[in-house]
Amino acid sequence: MDQRSGRVGEVMDHQGRYVQLRPLLGGREWDCPPEDVRLATPEERLGAKLTELNRRSRALP
């Protein structure tokens, strides 16, 4: 969980002084200072997945 933005991501790597996070269902990675990263709760992970699935379904023709 990126506490700055409230986004839930999966840790992919550490580059310099940043942790690289990626959305749970894939997508573009972003950098976050390690002091702003915490474990997401099961509810937060589920909510992030549902939000992304809903976004994708609205994008379908």
How far is the C-alpha of 41 from the C-alpha of 29, rounded, in Å?
A: 20
What is the spatial distance between Cα 16 and Cα 26, in angstroms, rounded to a whole number?
Answer: 22
Q: What pLDDT is attached to residue 60?
A: 81
Contact 47, 1 (CB under 8 A): no
The residue extents of the domains of the chain are: 9-59
Beta strands in 1-61 (DSSP E): 9-15, 18-23, 30-32
Burial of 17 (0-12, 13-18, 19+ CB in 10 A): exposed
pTM of the model as a whole: 0.85
Could you state, in chain order, the average pLDDT of each consecutive group of 10 residues for the chain (61 residues)? Answer: 97 96 95 98 97 90 75
